[in-house]
Amino acid sequence: MKSYREEYGALLRAIADEADTMAMTYFRAVGMRVVRKLDGTALTEADGAIEKMARAKVAASGAALDVFGEEMGTGDSNAASNSAGCARLIIDPIDGTEEFSRGIPTFGTLLGIEESGEIVAGVASAPALGARWSAYRGEGAYRDGQRMQVSKVPRLDEAMVFTTGTGPSKGQEAREKIRRLADAARNGRALGGFWQHMLVAEGAIDAALDWTSKPWDLAPLGIIVEEAGGRSTNIRGERNIYTDDFLSTNGLLHEEALALLQ
């Protein structure tokens, strides 16, 4: 029986390699067109182009995979939870489009393989940062070929914690919970997005919190943190990428963080 790396690794690398090249062609390009979707988030030409490329590579590979993407959706009527259980690629072609559109390098392409509701492979590739993170279930987590390990900080009052912002898009209760977690830490920063979770996996920080996220924002993040020895759940302690909020930690202080977010 093939490992998940043997099953999906070549395809994910091929998609990530081409996505890196395409993203950097658009990044900081003069005259790049930016529009706003109905929810107010940014959309660039790169988003659609990368997702189309990924879909074409999946089709050409012959892999038995559906595709669920941010920009082009899915043909699966059970997209919200993938209750049909079929294997599929979940893709965010440009995570951090707002940053991408402003010339900030903290953006990346996110790829996750879901089988029967479980993420079994994940890749996050950030070409402007010169970094790629990957994990396959049961095989560890890696940055650029080097195995990663989460930190050993045991308590929030000793921890560095990154959170999403507390702007007007979030309700008062959400803002209070986010601030409560940040205030409990020795050091707190507002960053948001995939990169903060990769920093947890690397052991550079100890916890990261996102809010109002979509499945494509989260698909590869949990497996990468978990395979590095950490823990990722929603704020109710459930391993679920379909419930908007997402907490990653080194595992040692996860329950303490969850208690503040209840």
Instruction: For 110-151, give the DSSP string.
Output: EEEEEETTEEEEEEEEETTTTEEEEEETTS-EEETTEE----
- Per-residue confidence (pLDDT) for residue 83, from 0 to 100: 47
- Per-residue confidence (pLDDT) for residue 165, from 0 to 100: 84
Instruction: For 179-248, give the DSSP string.
Output: HHHHHHSSEEEE--SHHHHHHHHHTSSSEEEE-S--HHHHTTHHHHHHHTT-EEE-TTS---TTSS-EEE
H/E element, 12: helix 4-26
- Per-residue confidence (pLDDT) for residue 185, from 0 to 100: 96
Dihedral sign of CA atoms 246, 210, 254, 248 in order: positive
CATH number of 156-261: 3.40.190.80
Burial 168-183 (b: 16+ CB within 10 A, else e): eebeeebbebbeebbe
pTM of this structure: 0.93
CA 86, CA 93: separation in Å to the nearest integer? 21
In the chain, domain spans: 4-139, 156-261
Q: What is the pLDDT of residues 150-174, one digit of tens each?
A: 999 999 999 999 999 888 778 899 8
Segments in the chain below pLDDT 70: 30-31, 34, 37-40, 42, 73-85
In the structure encoding, which two tokens stand for residue 157, read together?
């009052």
- Per-residue confidence (pLDDT) for residue 70, from 0 to 100: 78
CA 135, CA 151: separation in Å to the nearest integer? 17
CA 50, CA 25: separation in Å to the nearest integer? 11
CA 229, CA 226: separation in Å to the nearest integer? 5
Please determine whether the domains at 4-139 and 156-261 fall in the same fold group of CATH: no
For domain 4-139, which architecture applies?
2-Layer Sandwich (3.30)
* CB-CB contact of 224 with 133 (8 Å): yes
